[in-house]
A and B are shown apart, each in its own frame.
Chain A
Amino acid sequence: MQQVIGDFIHALRQAGLPVSPAETLDAVNTASLVGLDNRLVLKTALGLTVAKTQENKLQYDHVFDQFFHFAAQDMAAQETDDALEQDGTDISTAEPLISENSNQDSSLVDGSSLVEDSPLADTLQSPLAQQLMQGDQAAMSVAIAGAGNAVGVNQMQMFTQKPLFTFRIMQQMGMDALNQELRELSQQEENQSLVQLLKTRRNLLREQVQDFVEQQYALFAQAEGKKLRDSNLQKVRFTLVDYQSYDRMTGLVRKAAKQLASLHSRRRKVTKRGMLDVRKTIAANAAYDGVLFHTKWKSTRIDRPKIVAICDVSGSVSRVARFLLLFLYSLQDVLPRVRSFVFSGAMGEVTEYFEQDDLETAMTKVMEGWANRSTDYAMALSDFENLALDDIDNKTTVIMLGDARNNNGDGNVKVWEQVYRRSNRVLWLNPEGRGSWDTGDSIMADYAPYCTQVESCNSLRDLTRILSGLLKNS
């Protein structure tokens, strides 16, 4: 039983459930308490011990059904008996292996009942052939699972390994001996019907093994491949993310944002440190005749920054802007006060879009309204001066995302200097690598002196790192 539960936990972990060793022990204890006979009882019981959020519970249900699939098949086989009698033509399923069904099956199996009666069937030598002739499906499932364990099918990692493992399992079950025997039998004329039957059953077995491998792949390896793809996507440059990966990327951004949010969701307070709060202390100890049992300390709350995000949405920067905005608004829990502005030529505030619509719609609106015009930092910044400069105070963090390519125009650096002087912090994220700053029409060097921090930001990883730093130091 420990083996079964161990494998099951392994499958759960592959599906992304964080199951700790302590919870594994709990699961084993639970299973030994309720027993493995009743599937539903086992499902509820294990669910209570290993799945600890609603989301995890859904995943758990899915994995449980997949993992204990074989047990379910046995139960279902009995129920579907009647149904099968009517549509007995379908040989491609594994069901005809069940002996009582095979009698009602198509012509081929009709032949089998003749052969089964003949003494020839008893003379079969290889163990696999005997097993096939018995046609006990439950025993066969167990045999397949046993062979699967022996060849280590749960170590599978890539989908390309599927045929390999199918082959290995068949080998393990004694395919060589069976083939050998088939060759010998087929030389004699009177054995033809038996050989035919064995061959069909062998093919059915192969299909069954393939199903088994497929299922094991889904349980143990599919998540592995996804993880690999995800970790690659984190490193890839935003500008290179193709449209097909947008959905996945969006999911990843949200996930990263959620991680950051839960890490920083705590409102930090500095207590039991610093100055004694005399007034509160005296009040708290009035009951004890003024003897100071309880001390009260002055505590300061560390406030979250107000964030003003300014995004260049022209040309290639727009893709990065998309993910930056997505990230910022996914952080709503920890950064409730985000104002966002976009520009390519003129600048406009788009905070409302994000408050009213969901992210996708808002992004589309933003892109339709502001993107793809020629870049003019001077105009944008003077717009910003009118729009929001007065609202910037010493608690504001300004994040500018742009490549500072100004089509050889004047940069209007004066406004940026004021932004820098008024705000708490100015972050400039440039999607280009440092090497290409100040080449061509880039005027990064003009703005850089008025930034607290200048970063090259081009992948989800960069974005996570920078925003994490922002939350940590606030």
Chain B
Amino acid sequence: MIIKHKDRIASPEIVKAGFDDLGYVCSEAIAMAVYLACQLQKPILVEGPPGVGKTELAKKTAEYLGAPLIRMQCYEGLDESKALYEWKYGKQLLYTQVLKDQLGDVMRGAKGLDESVERLQQFGDIFYSEQFLETRPLLQALREDDGAILLIDEIDKSDQEFEAFLLELLSEYQVSIPEIGTIKATSKPIVFLTSNNTRELGDALKRRCLHLYIPFPDPKLESQIIASQVPEMAENLRKQLVNFVAELRDMALKKEPAISESIDWARALMLLNVDELEVQWVKDTLNLLLKYQDDIEVVEPELNRLVRGLK
């Protein structure tokens, strides 16, 4: 892709600093992945538990590089007519109806079938041309003149056939449309694929991508993230909150609280004017952190111990 601000991807450190300014605090590995993806023109496959900022990474990259973000959400049954292109059947139908009368004029004076067919052929395949092509996200990303950030979200939710279909796009940055031919990218997009690991992705797909695993952040990083997202929070409370969440992640839970949940919780605590974590407050707001009743039941009896441990 044509990157307008070449200086912004000069080194991983610059990328990291730039992301910091945008309010996305990231680890070295993440900055390195973005740097390599820009420099080597390779897609990034981002894996990790839900809520650690996989999708956000693509959004921030788009913002940082000043490029349009094109997002495609994957789901079971997604096929190329929804992801790549479709013919505008309705329009085609309408045009054939309208043009029917025109045909008479064109044919007038033609002698015999041969001549009629010849005349018709002069018009080419008007109905399968660009005008009748409805572009879907993938094609749109290839056609952006200055390149784009293409986010293929939750690739693991799509079918295996679709994954195979992506291979050509990811390695050659081109797609084949039977009626028109091969369409090459005007400017190669930077591709982010995200996955929650609900199923194992194919080796062929992985081979074509850089692989970035975003784990839950360590307390220090998480504290920085919350500081940038909820700046009005006092440092003392932030520390308590981060440690509390880290404790929760060590417990055997169905779904551990992710960063997005800690941020939500931090916002809620600010809204409630809490200065210090107390058992009652935590109990009342626990459902922001834990999304299963089972998990809440596991944690509640431990609350006293956990909160006391923070002080």
Contacts and interface: CB of A to CB of B under 8 A. Distances in A.
Given A291-B93, A293-B89, A44 B29 contact: yes
A158 interface: no
Given A30-B40, A52-B206, A45 B93 contact: no
B211 A48 contact: yes
Interface string A29-58: 110011000001100110111011110010
A307 B4 CA distance: 60
16 contacts: A20-B207, A23-B207, A33-B36, A34-B32, A44-B32, A49-B211, A52-B45, A52-B209, A53-B206, A53-B211, A265-B199, A265-B200, A266-B160, A289-B93, A291-B89, A293-B89
Contacts, number: 62
B302 interface: no
A228 interface: no
B52 interface: no
Contacts of A52: 45, 203, 206-207, 209, 211
A215 B212 CA distance: 29
A293 B128 CA distance: 13
B33 interface: yes
A296 B89 CA distance: 16
A265 B40 CA distance: 33
A26 interface: yes
Interface residues of B, number: 27
A336 interface: no
Nearest to B97: A289
A253 B203 CA distance: 22
A275 interface: no
B90 A287 contact: yes
B238 interface: no
B93 A288 contact: yes
Interface string B21-32: 000000011001
A243 to B, nearest CB: 32
Contacts of B40: 26, 29-30, 33
Nearest to B11: A34
B19 interface: no
A265 B32 CA distance: 34
Nearest to A271: B161
A45 B36 contact: yes
Contact of B36 (A49, A57, A262): A49
B91 to A, nearest CB: 10
A54 B213 contact: yes
Contact of B212 (A22, A48, A262): A48
Interface string B64-101: 00000000000000000000000101100100000000
Nearest to B171: A22
A18 interface: yes
A474 B33 CA distance: 42
A49 B93 contact: no
Contacts of A30: 36, 40
Interface in A324-378: none
B39 interface: yes
